[in-house]
Amino acid sequence: MPRTMLKDEHWTRLRPILLERNIYDKGNLRNTVEGVLYRMRVGCPWRDLPTHFGKPNTVYKAYQRWFRSNKLIQLFALLIKDADLEWVFIDGTHIKAHQHSSGGNEKAQAISKSVAGRATKIHLVVDAHGNPISFILSDGTTHDVKVAPDLVDKIDLSETDIVCADKGYDSDALREHIKQAGSCDNIPRKQNKKSDNNHIDWDLYKVRHLVENAFAHLKRFRAVATRFDKLKQSYENTVALACAFIWLKL
């Protein structure tokens, strides 16, 4: 029997949320969910799923229905409870795109080619405890600061004191955007700038490792650490499922 990821207490919490999202409670629902989680964890092709989870095609078709209606993204949103938004941290990470994910209009599917090969970027927001609260996908060659305004708009900053990021987000336009959203920035200026860094809370800046830790947690799942999905929507739901699983264990 393959190793599974859901304990009974996890399933007790997860099942009502799945029913709320109109996912029909068939007798094999838990095994189907475990099959989707197994594929996310080990990164295997769907056809290579162990038969313990049922027919691989059955599990794949269930996942296909769920991602096409963004049910896994909705699941992630519903599992976020009592996020501590006093401080939020943002950052981005490169994800290597497997050759099986390439083909077609790659730009539209958030894949781009550079000297290092094809890649996607995950732009992530975490709360004051390092738990993921939102993310955006972009192609691997788009600079983080270009995506940051959209990332900031995805969260309610009305109760957030500080938005913290590294020097890659050094932009007056972004600082103004954060200010208009009702918060303050904690973004250091680059060395070639004439302005100083007297506005920086360096003790809080050291805590920025929380967003790096969140990426480390997400990349434990091989289908997140390497993009195998051809469609952006499919990979987006895979990342959302990984984020949801982090919240499910809290």
Do residue 131 and residue 204 come from a single domain?
yes
Question: Please, is 9 exposed, middle or buried when counting C-beta atoms within 10 Å of its C-beta (0-12, 13-18, 19+)?
Answer: exposed
- 156 and 190: one domain? yes
Residue 194 has pLDDT above 80, yes or no: no
For residues 185-189, give the mean pLDDT: 95
Say yes or no: 205 and 98 in one domain. yes
pLDDT, residue 41, reads 98
Average pLDDT, integer, range 177-199: 90
Mean pLDDT of 196-217: 95
Which pTM was predicted? 0.96
Same domain for 52 and 116, yes or no, is: no
Work out how many domains the chain is built from and give that number: 2
| Domain match, 149 and 223 both | yes
- For the stretch 112-120, contacts whose Cβ atoms lie closer than 8 Å and that sit 24 or more positions apart, written own/partner, are 112/139, 112/140, 112/141, 112/142, 113/141, 114/140, 114/141, 119/94, 119/95, 120/94, 120/95, 120/227, 120/235
* Mean pLDDT value across the chain: 95
Question: pLDDT digit string (tens) for 80-135?
Answer: 988 999 999 999 999 999 999 988 899 999 999 988 899 999 999 999 999 999 99
57 with 155, same domain: the answer is: no
Percent of the chain with pLDDT over 70: 100
Q: How far is CA 73 from CA 49, 69, 235, 240, in A?
A: 23, 9, 11, 5
Given pLDDT bands bounded at 50, 70 and 90, which one contains residue 243?
very high
pLDDT at 192: 83
Residues of the domain holding 24: 8-69
Q: What is the CATH number of the domain that holds 181?
A: 3.30.420.10
What torsion do the CA atoms of 234, 241, 158, 207 make, to the nearest 10 degrees? -110
Question: Which neighbouring-strand residues pair with 113?
Answer: 118
Looking at the structure, do residues 63 and 170 belong to the same domain, yes or no?
Answer: no
Establish if 212 belongs to a structural domain: yes
Distances (CA, A) of 126 to 83, 107, 134, 247, 250: 9, 26, 7, 12, 15
User: Is residue 240 situated within a structural domain?
Assistant: no
Mean pLDDT of the 140-147 span = 96
Hunting for tokens 């929380």 — which residue is that? 210
pLDDT recorded at residue 27: 87
